[in-house]
Amino acid sequence: MPGLNGNADTDNAHERNADGARGGGVAAAVDVSSGELRSGAGNAGGQVRGVAHALVVETSNARNLLADMRDLLGDDADLIASTVEGETELTEVASKALGRILELNGMMDGIAGMMASLKDRGERLEQQRDNLRTLLGVAMETGCIKKLETPLATASLRAVPPKAEIIDEAAIPARFWKPQEPKLDKKAVLDALKAKEPVPGATLSNGGMTVSIKAS
């Protein structure tokens, strides 16, 4: 059975991908010794840690069960799934984990909405500040006020050096352009490797499994 990567692609209002370590199995995303998620970001606390721990334990139980029954079960995926469901609580715990993932997605969406709102508000405040600063400069220049001192701060007029304003970038002569380092086309490398074309310095990974989640 191929190892399950620590990836979760969640498709609800929008798809969210989280890349996990290849070949690490479930342990790539979970610390098996403690059963806790390694990343504290997005961790909803004890409930998430509890489900994560239970998932690690039941995954280990299923792995041990399948190792003991390898000769009997063979490679029959349906028989393996039925045996795991009947002899362990892996399916039940996995369902709980799925529910927690959806809850965390909802929390993340809410936070993202708040961040977007705060970002918009911050941009409006920044624009208001810049406008007021420009008006202050005009007022000070008009009144020949070189320095304005208050208990809160001191404002001073200073000369601004000229700067280049690009009107038509395409018309700028080549000597004014900085040479750019070549950028690797990873998609072209992947396409070549998939077509069995040898590419020095690159190889095709073994791939693996991922989890795709769609909210009902």
pLDDT-derived band at 148 (thresholds 50, 70, 90) equals very high
pLDDT-derived band at 208 (thresholds 50, 70, 90) equals confident
Residue 14 identity (one-letter amino acid) = H
Instruction: Judge if pTM exceeds 0.75.
Output: no
pLDDT-derived band at 45 (thresholds 50, 70, 90) equals low
Distance of CA 155 to the CA centre of its chain: 43
Per-residue pLDDT for 18 more than 70?
no
> Do residues 21 and 28 lie in contact, with contact meaning Cβ atoms separated by under 8 Å?
yes
Nearest to 59 by CA among 20, 29, 38: 29
Least confident of 12-21, 123-132, 144-153: 12-21
Higher pLDDT, 88 or 20: 88
| CA distances for 205 relative to 6, 13, 23, 194, 199, angstroms | 16, 31, 10, 10, 13
